[in-house]
Structure 1
Amino acid sequence: MKHIVILISGEGSNMAAIVRAAEQQRWAERFGASVAAVIANKPEAGGLRFARDRGIAAEAVSHKAFATREAFDAALAAAVDAHSPALVVLAGFMRILTPVFVRRYAGRLLNIHPSLLPAFPGLDTHRRAIEAGCRVAGATVHQVTVELDHGPILDQAIVPVLPGDTAEGLAARVLTQEHLLYSRAIERWLHEGAGDTDSS
């Protein structure tokens, strides 16, 4: 079984969408893959409850318990490796990972970013897109590399910027597309990795 480990920091709406897609799209049967664990950097993260309710291993590795990013990332890697992951998915994980951690999972570490990369890496993407006069915004699933928000792009979703849009309104519409996009990109990754000929 190809184990997927998902990292979160909060409610984990993208994580929940991935878990539901795995169930509904029969990833276990089609690709021999399942969401094995959800790990949060905050013990109070609401997404941990969702994972436990679905029978998925869920734990917290609090970044506040470590004096350095390097020490936290080492502990996080140990927690991830306990589940022998084929794929590590960042889903609202609000920590910048060290190069050592990123290289450890090179080629199997994914992230979703709320802009059409390479436009607007970093934070405040929706406000920046509106202020720049963009007619479209969106989200990007990409492989994580040492350079923030610059890894190879796997898939994107486009969302129109409406007249009078606010950052909050645009963010909400983009998030609904993120839920579809991330699962689709992971399924494609599993399909290619598994050599599965089922394209349904």
Structure 2
Amino acid sequence: MSYTGDVTAGGPADVRELPDLTISKVEVGDFGNNAYLLRCRETGDGLLIDAAADGTRLLELIGDMPISKIVTTHRHQDHWGALAEVAAATGAETVAHPLDAPGLPVPVTRPVEHGDRVTVGVVTLEVIHLRGHTPGSIALLYQDGHLFTGDSLFPGGVGNTQGDAARFEQLIGDVQERVFARLPDTTWVYPGHGKDTTLGAERPSLPEWRSRGW
């Protein structure tokens, strides 16, 4: 079966096999959060994006193979509900932007800024700071083709800015400049909740998003 990104709470992981990286997506928690396990195919090292909830489920997903890092995309509690449990069980580095780090339940051992690189085995991911949903929201980019966006970009729009016009302008500006302006339409988007999408599917709607203000 080919990867679709369609997962359900309690259901199996959807797994995408890339030449250098395996991506496993699961849904956890009461808010339909997505968690992503990235594993380097050469070394076996792993990286978890958003230990959102259900630590037992996430540790089962990780299994007996190591993970060296847990990346938290932003400070909202539904994205770190199992962070302390998974970090304690795995000994993994905790990674987040310093502006959101104070809102997390464990110390951030690896603060990252826009343009920084995070490795998993021999694979390198680029950090993209997308300000607006929270001050320190980040996305992770792999090879200009796979973008893990947290709650900053979804099918149908950018993340919630609670009706704050300044925050919305910051987020839509960052998404346009730092994502759509530099990445191809084929880039696959892995969001923090719900179904996946591509930049090509969303690009025609950018003017509508900006005009509606959310």
**Would you tell me which structure has more strand in proportion to its own residues?**
2
TM-score range, shorter chain: 0.3 to 0.5
Q: Structure 2-normalised TM-score?
A: 0.33
**Would you tell me which structure has more helix in proportion to its own residues?**
1
